[in-house]
Chain A
């Protein structure tokens, strides 16, 4: 029984890992080897020189698009934690006459997935002149009602004694938040931050809509353009894909615990 379990899990694990292997294999093989009539699982030889060819190819803005993706992902992660964290704390802890009205407006946005409203958002962002602009890529994604709401729920359960001690020491709301609440909530910030980074790096629809000039492409838009047009060599396309997932695989392996917490936190509130 136990052996059967391990057998089933191992088979599933192999199936789950094959696509990753294929990205690497196709990225480091030759065009002839990929398109040969006979499918070979192991390439006869690893062609490291494909890296040089990919980065030397002027048609593929690999470095530029990776930098764009990184800038967007970092800014969106930091911005979301900053804005939504502050808002969540204010909504949870600062008594104010209209706090409930504001909360109502935040919660109402939870009904509407951002992807469904990409046309309206595009209309507004293009009016601001932010098409093919870093501002257009980053800023609309910062104001997540969902993240603000998660922060609020978290801060509602934050131990009040810690805040009261800070109050006695003469700190106002602002000082309490930065000197006591944030340092004692690192795990929660980190968990939501990792999720925000991964989501931002992998997002496709919004960058596709807004990044219309090649210079503003994120790595996902660049890959998609070459995939749908099939305009570059297949090996280079796969190698570019392998490079594009490397940062996230590193994040996943290094920060697995945080990710699991973040996934549970954002998926279902325990």
Chain B
């Protein structure tokens, strides 16, 4: 019994908070998702599964999942390959290794808001004086309206390079940690067996040894891309609202539940429940990788 008191002394405050700020919201949201709740957070009229049916047939909601897929299809492999390549390079040098690691890690200090500011107003500014357009001009190209052009959808270049710059350092650190855990004697044995340093050792030793790290990195990248909000909101949003294209799930949810067109918590909650169920599987897999 004494243990019970000690246990709750340690765990109690956290458990109460978890209950109030995680479990109650999820429960409430589940409840709201079966009700009509416009501009109110108390359920008014029971509508059964109608909110869910609305969401699953709602074109903008479905296309937000499409937007996530396109974004993930670019950002996940790009970040993975470049972070791994830079990690291999950094790991192979001795002089100034710390310096390069710090430089690539530094953007992690930057918020997505600040990065959006630089990307939108300085690098990919649509007028002639933007950095990207200046570089284009050297090669005789015409200025491109990067963030507002939909055909071709140049905004993907803006959004993908932004996130790449900001998150690469974090994954680089994970890969370097993974590389440093590979026992050196594996390489020595391979050299004795005649494997040449380079592609062969990379293919047959480094990559297989990095398997756990690689799986974790892919899952973390996917989960992060799924929650993309900050850079989309700040690069594409204006004070006149958000354009009808390039709305990832959280952007869609934000404008449904909290947008200026009226707060619709019934549909917003149904959307949140669907999105939570979709991501839960992936995070479950991530939990397996982390805890094993």
Contact = CB atoms under 8 A, between A and B. Distances in A.
Interface in B242-292: 250, 253-254, 257-258, 265, 268-269, 271-272, 275-276, 279-280, 283-284, 287, 289-291
Interface in B107-126: 107-123
A23 B106 CA distance: 14
Interface string A171-185: 011100100000000
Nearest to A110: B287
Contacts of A143: 14, 17-18, 21-22
B32 interface: yes
Contact of A124 (B28, B114, B217): B28
Nearest to A86: B10
B261 to A, nearest CB: 15
Interface stretch (A47-55, A56-64, A160-168, A243-251): A243-251
Contact of A86 (B14, B32, B129, B237): B14
Contact of A172 (B6, B41, B92, B254): B6
B230 A121 contact: no
Contacts of A267: 170-171, 173-174, 216-217, 220
Interface residues of A, number: 100
Interface residues of B, number: 102
A228 interface: yes
Contact of B280 (A83, A112, A153): A112
B57 interface: no
A90 B7 contact: yes
Interface stretch (B96-104, B188-196, B199-207): B96-104
A106 B258 CA distance: 29
Contacts of B239: 228-231
B14 A83 contact: yes
A247 to B, nearest CB: 9
Nearest to A96: B7
B215 to A, nearest CB: 9
A211 interface: no
Given A39-B134, A117-B29, A220-B111, A124 B20 contact: yes
A241 B114 contact: yes
B89 interface: yes
Contacts of A260: 101, 105, 173, 177
Contacts of B253: 118-119
A198 B20 CA distance: 25
Interface in A168-213: 172-174, 177, 198, 201-202, 204-205, 208-209
Contact of A120 (B28, B86, B119): B28
Given A13-B100, A90-B10, A263-B174, A268 B216 contact: yes
Given A89-B10, A205-B250, A19 B287 contact: no
B41 A126 contact: yes
Interface in A106-120: 106-107, 109-113, 115-120
A116 to B, nearest CB: 5
24 contacts: A2-B93, A8-B89, A9-B93, A17-B106, A22-B123, A22-B131, A83-B13, A86-B13, A86-B14, A111-B284, A116-B279, A118-B254, A119-B268, A119-B272, A127-B41, A142-B21, A177-B10, A204-B112, A223-B114, A227-B116, A228-B234, A245-B109, A252-B105, A256-B102
Given A220-B111, A245-B110, A268-B177, 15 more contacts: A12-B104, A13-B104, A17-B103, A26-B122, A115-B229, A116-B275, A116-B276, A118-B253, A119-B257, A127-B41, A139-B21, A145-B18, A228-B238, A260-B101, A268-B289
Interface of A: 2, 5-6, 8-9, 12-13, 16-17, 19-20, 22-23, 26, 34-39, 83-84, 86-87, 89-91, 94-97, 99, 102, 105-107, 109-113, 115-127, 139-140, 142-143, 145, 148, 153, 172-174, 177, 198, 201-202, 204-205, 208-209, 220, 223-224, 227-231, 234, 237-238, 241, 244-245, 248-249, 251-253, 256, 259-260, 263-264, 267-270
3 A-B pairs with least C-beta separation: A90-B10, A120-B29, A120-B25
